[in-house]
Amino acid sequence: MTAMSFVYLAAILFAIGAAAVLLRRNAIVAFMGVELMLNAANLVLVAFSRMYGELDGQIMAFFVMVVAAAEVVVGLAIIIALFRARQTISLDEPAELKG
Amino acid sequence: MNFVTPEIAWAPLTPILIVLGAAAAAVLIEAFIKTPATRRLVQLTVTIGALAVALGMVVVQWVGLGDSAGTVVMTGKITVDAQSLAWQAMLLVFGILAALLFAARTADGEESFTSLGSVPPGSTEERLARRAGLQVTEVYALLLFAVGGMMLFTCITDLIFLFVALELFSLPLYIMVALARRRRLLSQEAALKYFLLGAFSSAIYLFGAALVYGSTTQIDMESIGIAIDFIPSNDAMLLAGAVMVVVGLMFKIGAVPFHSWVPDVYQGAPTPVTAFMGAATKAAATAALVRVMYLAFYPLEWELSWMFWAVAIASMVVGTVVALVQTDVKRMLAYSAVAHAGFILVAFAGLTPEALTALPFYLLTYGLATIGSFAVISQVRERAEDGGVAAEAVRLGQWAGLGRRSPLLAGAMALFLLSFAGIPLTAGFIGKFEVFSAAVAGGAWPLVLIAVLASAVAAFFYVRLIVLMFFTDVPEGAQDTVAVENDLLTRIVIIVTAAATVLLGIVPSGVLNVLQDAAVFLVSAG
């Protein structure tokens, strides 16, 4: 099993995440898709870091994890505020903005 | 593996450290000052003070540059050069103007932001919060974080740290969009859309950066540019990575087909926030795209040019055509912003040195007109049935006869619209002229031809609003439905931006000369 296999795996995870964002109508599931995409990028960074025998990629993965955590905080706050107002988190339901 | 402590030259980072330090202080002020009215005053003073001091520091650094191109703060990570200082100064000016708009109030003492962001719209808790006089003064801290992140965004030369700065300025914007006082459902929905699409685009950007790292073994832009020369340019992983990085940045600029968030967010966000993000996000994202293209991906110029052409043409055409049929002023300006994203991308054709002067100037003129026009929008209000002042009057029909109600507001709005359209004697004309000549110098005359045609069509919907304001009578029985606000801070912003738009249109040479000196990137790697 070479490090390149992990890159292919990451590409698949990224595609699944992107599909979830674009296709699923539940805000939480779409949000999980974004997180999957970020983690796929982390996997690529770590895999290449391993392949080249240096630490750069792994250090970057740490930065990405911290940023992703901050993003979760903001994202969930917005989703909860919206849920309190509407009692639903469907992305189809809010339809005030059109055109 | 041994660890080498990086050497950091802190001095050139002073303006950014001041802004981010003030942001941290602003969070503390939230915790320690209990009275909302005092807190608002302190926050406003701290915010404007910090931004003004940082602006002064940027100018001092600019003067101190002399003949040198700048300083490498941290090898391969951050470089503060003349180009970056020019963008930083621009962002600070936008930040100060936005802070003034944030503090603006209506005659009834009503701010643009909700009294408590966490309570549901229309609930008892919301009424209680309003009666208690609560205010979301956190917006000033968020504004400082956003400005600091954007300033950092213009001087980072490393793809991963660029991602960190991207999120640093995006996250505060997501929150600020959700905090409108009126039409809160709309505002929260816009925030959700902005957040999901923004996070989606950052993830695309990050994956692209990781792929570029994989194919070049480098992550700082200069080394990437050098490494690309040694690998075949049809390397699929490198091309995919480069395209994804550029797509992530184009999302922030708001170019078609990555524009779907623009109209919703422009319409739903509180108007001062729309003004700020419309001007500043575009400027910061353009600055980063310039650096990425000129430092890292210039060897791929030919491979990526099809993408810039396609996106630029699509943005100009879609933005212009869809803006023609809008009936909401904020949405119309949003689609005009999409068209302007196309004009910005036109300058990237050929990656000429001229574009390094043209782009900052264009973004400056565009940003001033954007802040000014949204400041005008925040002053035109509907009148509530009890005689008080209600939400903003954003339907086009409600703007009929504004020229008679308030010649100053309508005149300023007309000026900004003419500047958007690129009519001579306004700043927008010089900006467009510079951008188009940069593209012609890059050999992209077909692109410029389309851009000129799009400008001509776009002039139609700008002029339509001007005709509506000055040459249409107020409909019978609708005289009392629109109220014109008279807030001092907003008036200051409108007058400053209008004056700057005229000045830059008539005597642009001073600023252009300064920006010509800024058209250098400091390249450190050998």
Give per-residue pLDDT as tens, B179-203. 988 888 889 999 999 999 999 999 9
Contact yes or no for A94 and B192 at CB 8 A: yes
Residue A90 β-bridge partners:
A26
Contact yes or no for A96 and B263 at CB 8 A: no
Tokens of B160: 């991963």
pLDDT-above-70 percentage for chain B: 99
CB B242 within 8 A of CB B218: no
Confidence of residue B245 (pLDDT cuts 50, 70, 90): very high
Measured distance CA(B358)–CA(B137) in Å, rounded: 37
Residues of B in contact with A30 (CB under 8 A): 196
Confidence of residue B453 (pLDDT cuts 50, 70, 90): very high
| Residue matched to tokens 């700048």 | B70
User: Number of helices (H) and strands (E), helices first, in chain A?
Assistant: 3, 0
Confidence of residue B233 (pLDDT cuts 50, 70, 90): low
pLDDT of residue B71: 82
Domain layout of chain A by residue ranges: 3-86
B472: which DSSP letter?
Answer: S
Q: Is B25 exposed, middle or buried (0-12, 13-18, 19+ CB in 10 A)?
A: middle
Q: Is B240 touching A (CB cutoff 8 A)? A: no
Whether the bond between B272 and the residue before it is cis, its omega within 30 degrees of 0, is no
Collect all residues with Cβ–Cβ distance below 8 Å to A44 and sequence separation of at least 6.
A6, A7, A10, B207, B210, B211, B213, B214
Min Cα separation A91/chain B (Å): 9
Distances (CA, A) of A57 to A4, B194, B210, B410: 14, 29, 8, 55
Distances (CA, A) of B106 to B96, B111, B483, B493: 20, 7, 11, 15
Residue from B312, B172, B196 nearest B254 by CA: B312
Residues of B in contact with A74 (CB under 8 A): 171, 174-175, 195
pLDDT at B524 over 70: no
In this prediction the pTM is 0.94
CATH of domain A3-86: 1.10.287.3510
Residues of B in contact with A75 (CB under 8 A): 174, 195-196, 199
List of chain A residues with pLDDT < 70: 1, 93-99
Contact yes or no for B199 and A31 at CB 8 A: yes
pLDDT tens digit string along B312-324?
999 999 999 999 9
DSSP B283-309: HHHHHHHHHIIIIISGGGHHHHHHHHH
CB B331 within 8 A of CB B392: no
Q: Is A3 exposed, middle or buried (0-12, 13-18, 19+ CB in 10 A)?
A: middle
Min Cα separation B185/chain A (Å): 7
pLDDT of residue B526: 37
Contact yes or no for B192 and A60 at CB 8 A: no
Confidence of residue B430 (pLDDT cuts 50, 70, 90): very high
Contact yes or no for A18 and B188 at CB 8 A: no
Min Cα separation A56/chain B (Å): 9
Contact yes or no for A48 and B209 at CB 8 A: no
Whether the bond between B270 and the residue before it is cis, its omega within 30 degrees of 0, is no
Sign of the CA dihedral with B117 first, then B120, B121, and B122 last: negative
Over residues B205-218, mean pLDDT: 93
Find the chain A residues whose C-beta atoms sit closer than 8 A to any C-beta of B.
Answer: 7, 14, 17-18, 21, 27, 30-31, 34, 37-38, 40-42, 44-45, 47-48, 51-52, 54-57, 60, 63-64, 67, 70-71, 74-75, 77-79, 81-82, 84-86, 91, 94, 96-97, 99
Tokens of A96: 């005030």
Residue from B166, B148, B194 nearest B25 by CA: B148
Q: Is B488 exposed, middle or buried (0-12, 13-18, 19+ CB in 10 A)?
A: exposed
pLDDT of residue B284: 96
- Tell which wins on pLDDT, B179 or B479: B179
Min Cα separation B261/chain A (Å): 10
Collect all residues with Cβ–Cβ distance below 8 Å to B43 and sequence separation of at least 6.
B26, B29, B30, B137, B140, B141
B215 to chain A: closest CA residue: A48
Over residues B243-248, mean pLDDT: 95
Confidence of residue B362 (pLDDT cuts 50, 70, 90): very high
Measured distance CA(B515)–CA(B494) in Å, rounded: 24
CB B307 within 8 A of CB A75: no
Contact yes or no for A48 and B203 at CB 8 A: no
Residues of A in contact with B191 (CB under 8 A): 78, 82
B residues 193-212 near A, CB within 8 Å? 193, 195-196, 199-200, 202-204, 206-207, 209-211
B122 to chain A: closest CA residue: A85
B209 to chain A: closest CA residue: A41
Q: Is B188 touching A (CB cutoff 8 A)? A: yes
Measured distance CA(B366)–CA(B374) in Å, rounded: 12
Residues of A in contact with B180 (CB under 8 A): none
Residues of A in contact with B217 (CB under 8 A): 48, 52
Tokens of B156: 């980072």
Contact yes or no for B264 and A63 at CB 8 A: no
- Tell which wins on pLDDT, B146 or B389: B146
Contact yes or no for A63 and B207 at CB 8 A: no
pLDDT tens digit string along B71-99?
888 887 898 988 999 999 999 999 999 99
pLDDT tens digit string along B258-279?
998 999 999 999 999 999 999 9
Q: Is residue B383 helix, strand or coil?
A: strand
pLDDT at B525 over 70: no
B residues 81-140 near A, CB within 8 Å? 117-121
User: Which of A67, A80, A93 to substitute to test the interface with B, most B CBs within 10 Å?
Assistant: A67
Collect all residues with Cβ–Cβ distance below 8 Å to B334 and sequence separation of at least 6.
B262, B263, B265, B266, B267
| Residue matched to tokens 């910090």 | B50
Measured distance CA(B350)–CA(B346) in Å, rounded: 9
- Report ipTM (2 d.p.): 0.95
How far, rounded to the nearest angstrom, does the alpha carbon of residue B312 sit from its chain's CA centroid?
18
Over residues B328-336, mean pLDDT: 93
Contact yes or no for B185 and A86 at CB 8 A: yes
Over residues B111-134, mean pLDDT: 85
Measured distance CA(B221)–CA(B166) in Å, rounded: 16
Distances (CA, A) of B365 to A98, B340, B426, B509, B524: 29, 11, 9, 13, 31
How far, rounded to the nearest angstrom, does the alpha carbon of residue B230 sit from its chain's CA centroid?
37
Over residues B431-456, mean pLDDT: 92
Crossing angle of helices A56-86 and B159-177, rounded to 10° = 10
Contact yes or no for A30 and B196 at CB 8 A: yes
Residue from B247, B142, B219 nearest A63 by CA: B219
Over residues B481-494, mean pLDDT: 88
Q: Pick from B178, B203, B214: which is nearest to A7 by CB?
A: B214
pLDDT of residue A99: 45
Residues of A in contact with B263 (CB under 8 A): 97, 99
- Ramachandran region, residue B380 (left: φ > 0; alpha: ψ -120 to 50; beta: rest): beta
Measured distance CA(B266)–CA(B268) in Å, rounded: 6
